[in-house]
Amino acid sequence: MRFDALTLFPDMFNLVSESGVTGRAHKQGIWQMRTWNPRDYTTDVHRTVDDRPYGGGPGMVMLADPLNDALDHALADRGDAPAVILLSPAGRRFDQSLAQGLAQGPGAVLVCGRYEGIDQRFIDERVTLELSLGDFVLSGGEIASLAIIDSVVRLLPGVLNDADSARQDSFHAANSGLLDSPHYTRPEVYRGQAVPDVLMSGHHGRIQAWRREQSLRLTVLRRPDLIEQARLRGELSKADERFLAALAESDSQNGR
């Protein structure tokens, strides 16, 4: 697994290559990270990577040539043909299923735009996938790229101490794409609130059932759209549906 980033701020990627679980996995050689600065592929004394937009308007637009040359060098260094991903507000919404898909592949080249955007001709010719983290705008693609790298790398075998940790994550397919259940640790009583008895019981079947119900409860409350998606995929059991029906009836009786 290898990620490459075309970026004007390569030092930002030290965060994932040197820190936390992704940094440890990077040192262990589980994944690789390379950055390519478009300024290194300019030909003028000022190392110009942007220019004014045709048609007028505020801001500057990143030039296609430095990006093209940087991408060519990245692909040649890799020796394969990975996805070339542009972080863009116009892109597909990034989600856990996309992270899982990328985790099963060779990685990707991430194109981090800046200023008002990138010359569309580079996008049309070289970008194979556009991704967005949500309906908001960042100063550049680096922060979004860091989030994508982190979400993908943590799914690789050997990255997390417990291989089952990722399977319990919110949105993971193993959890029907629902939100994760609440978690508790020591002390048993904190500011008058006790850990639920079932988690202290040692009865794994009851604990598993409780966690599933809490996952359903939280998802109904916060993200009901995920319940409907899981239902359409046929991933809700009869027990799930009975619990959801009981929740709906209880809410109705309480006037919610």
Active site residues: 89, 116, 154, 169
Compute the distance between CA of residue 232 and CA of residue 209 in angstroms, rounded to an integer.
Answer: 22
Q: Which of 76, 52, 198, 66 lies closest to 122 in space, CA to CA?
A: 66
Among residues 242, 253, 178, which one has the least CA distance to residue 215? 178
Separation CA 116–CA 63 (nearest Å): 11
Q: Which residues contact 129 (CB under 8 A, 6 or more apart)?
A: 83, 84, 85, 86, 91, 92
How far is C-alpha 52 from the chain's CA centre? 32
* Radius of gyration for the alpha carbons in the chain, expressed in angstroms and rounded: 23
